[in-house]
Amino acid sequence: MSKAFDIISNEVLTYRQQLIALAQLGESTDDTLRYSDAYYEAKAKGALCDLNEGCMPFRPRYICPDYELLFEKGCKFLELDPPTDLLEAVNVLEIFYAHVPSITTYPVYLGDLDKLLEPFVLKEDRAFAKKVLRQFLLQIDKVLTDSFVHADIGPADSVTARLLLELTEEMQLAIPNLTLRYDPELTSDDFALACIKCMLKTAKPSFANHRMFVKEWGERYAIASCYNGLQIAGGGFTLPRMRLYECSLDAKSPEDFLENELKKYMDLQLEYMDKRVKFIVEQSSFFKSNFLVTEGFVKLENFTGMFGVVGLAECCNHLLGIEDKKQGFGMNEEATALGIRIMDRIESYVAAHEAPYCDSCGHRYRLHAQVGIDTDGMDDSPGTRIPIGVEPTMLEQLEVNEKFHPYFPTGTGDIFKFEETYLKTPEAILPIIKGSLANGLRYFSGYLENNDVVRVTGYLVKKSEIEKLRQKKQSLNNVTVFGMGAQDGGHALDRRVQHHEESAGQ
């Protein structure tokens, strides 16, 4: 049987999922875009991974349109006028979203929804506005059926943000992913607490370190897909990743790795990125004829390449001969210090590389702590995270994270699972978030132990949807299958739970 037949006859895939799979299959039939033999060897060994981005990229991986421009000028190609009220605004967005491509075929950035919609919401009665926003969120969940669809709110409080939080909690949907840009001066404690309450009940929003992102990107940055920092009216061309554990397997010593092996794989990943970026810009039609480009919703100069790494913990443990993960990276100063040396080396090496295009970033790629994929198993932990199952106390986990998050302007993050008593004490979480962001944490996610909507590695799924797949039933959300893989192979839902102090009070 052919691969196409397998897809067509697969009863667990929805029609859209079949369509996407068939498109990927079609793309894989062309090998115009070639890399060096050494690259293919490294890929075959699992040291480098292209995240199944496809052989012939026909759009940048992540696209973050300028929705403010859409509201200001409308869209000629889609024959949309600038909206004049809330119903029109929501309608314009819904239409536009359907035409924003990405690696997933769905838009990975829906805009700063509070800022975009607030002027229209304020003109309406609150109950009416809430009803409209409810339909808007329902439309997103049922039509943009992919958990990498992501919306942003904050840093300031607004009626729209509050309505979105209320609805998020009431509706219990996995889509869209949601981020609060948190700034200790611009975000009130009351608003932050409302976000924490919502996060405990629905695993969103996450908290992004607004000051850190603004310093790197300016005010006009987006948090897209899992937790990816990118420029608005721009995006990310491509995201390959070094699987650092596999990269370390041939190294004779930590020094050999730092001096030789690491450089070898970085060169190959850079070669891959350079060729791919040039292909997307020069060969594929996107930057020549797509209306997003021709009407200025995205600009070529605002895109960059995302240089991904994964599995730093396992890499360090392997290089130091540490077999017991409990004594390894995150719990062991020597391993953590080696991690810093490796990241310093990667950071300076990538910063020295002249990248094609990427004008706004000074012709440079930016680092990304890739969050892992369902087939990684336990070999490579996400980005620079401490492996699941051996996490130390939350304090120690935060301290390690704070050392590594600053390396990754295009995104990293960690996730903390809380037990039930935190529902009653959200004010116990706020100082943790404030303290860690002030100390260099980039992105904080949390959820409650027993929720249906949970954060797997960076994206959200419903546990009940994973159950559907297990029973060979279709799941509308394209990402549920990744969640199932990450749960089975990577134990991604078994992370340490932050407990209250159990011996107190009796």
Partner 1 sequence: MTAGCSTMKRAPVNKIIPFSNVDGPGNRTSIFFQGCPFNCLFCHNPETIHMCRNCGACVPGCPVGALSVDADGKVQWNHRACVQCDACIKTCPHDASPRVRWMTVEEVMREIHRTAPYIGGITTSGGECTLRNEFLIDLFSEVKKLGKTCLIDSNGSFDFSADPRVLAVSDGVMLDVKAVGEAWNNTLISHDRATVLKNLDYLLRVNKLYEVRTIIFPGRDQENEETVRYVAERIGGACFYKIIRYRPFGVREQYQKLLGEDTTDADYAERFAALARSLGAEKAYVV
Q: Please give the residue ranges that form the binding site for partner 1 (CB under 8 A).
A: 393-395, 398-399, 421-422, 424-425, 427-432, 434-436, 438-439, 498, 500-501, 503-506
- The C-alpha atoms of residue 211 and residue 76 are separated, in whole angstroms, by 35
Q: Assign 3-state DSSP to the chain and report helix, strand, coil percentages, each to 5.
A: 45, 15, 40
For partner 1, give the closer residue by CB, 211 or 299. Answer: 211
For partner 1, give the closer residue by CB, 148 or 182. Answer: 182
For partner 1, give the closer residue by CB, 19 or 438. Answer: 438
For partner 1, give the closer residue by CB, 150 or 210. Answer: 210
Task: Quote the least distance from Cβ 399 to partner 1, whole Å.
Answer: 7
For partner 1, give the closer residue by CB, 221 or 447. Answer: 447
Q: Which of 362, 382, 361 minimizes the C-alpha distance to 372?
A: 382
Gyration radius of the chain over CA positions:
22
Task: Quote the least distance from Cβ 139 to partner 1, whole Å.
Answer: 37
For partner 1, give the closer residue by CB, 285 or 425. Answer: 425
First to last CA, the chain: 66
For partner 1, give the closer residue by CB, 78 or 430. Answer: 430
Q: Which of 302, 236, 275, 269 minimizes the C-alpha distance to 356?
A: 275
Ramachandran quadrant class, 310 (left: phi over 0; alpha: psi -120 to 50; beta: rest):
beta
Task: Quote the least distance from Cβ 214 to partner 1, whole Å.
Answer: 21
383 with 412: CB under 8 angstroms?
yes
Q: Which residues contact 145 (CB under 8 A, 6 or more apart)?
A: 14, 16, 106, 175, 476, 477, 478
DSSP string, 160-217: HHHHHHHHHHHH----SEEEEEE-TTTS-HHHHHHHHHHHHHHS--EEEEHHHHHHHH
Beta strands 306-310 and 206-209: pairing type?
Answer: unpaired
For partner 1, give the closer residue by CB, 15 or 505. Answer: 505
Task: Quote the least distance from Cβ 422 to partner 1, whole Å.
Answer: 6
DSSP string, 256-278: HIIIIIHHHHHHHHHHHHHHHHH
Q: Which of 303, 292, 182, 286 minimizes the C-alpha distance to 231?
A: 303
Task: Quote the least distance from Cβ 32 to partner 1, whole Å.
Answer: 52
Task: Quote the least distance from Cβ 114 to partner 1, whole Å.
Answer: 27
Task: Quote the least distance from Cβ 138 to partner 1, whole Å.
Answer: 34
Task: Quote the least distance from Cβ 322 to partner 1, whole Å.
Answer: 17
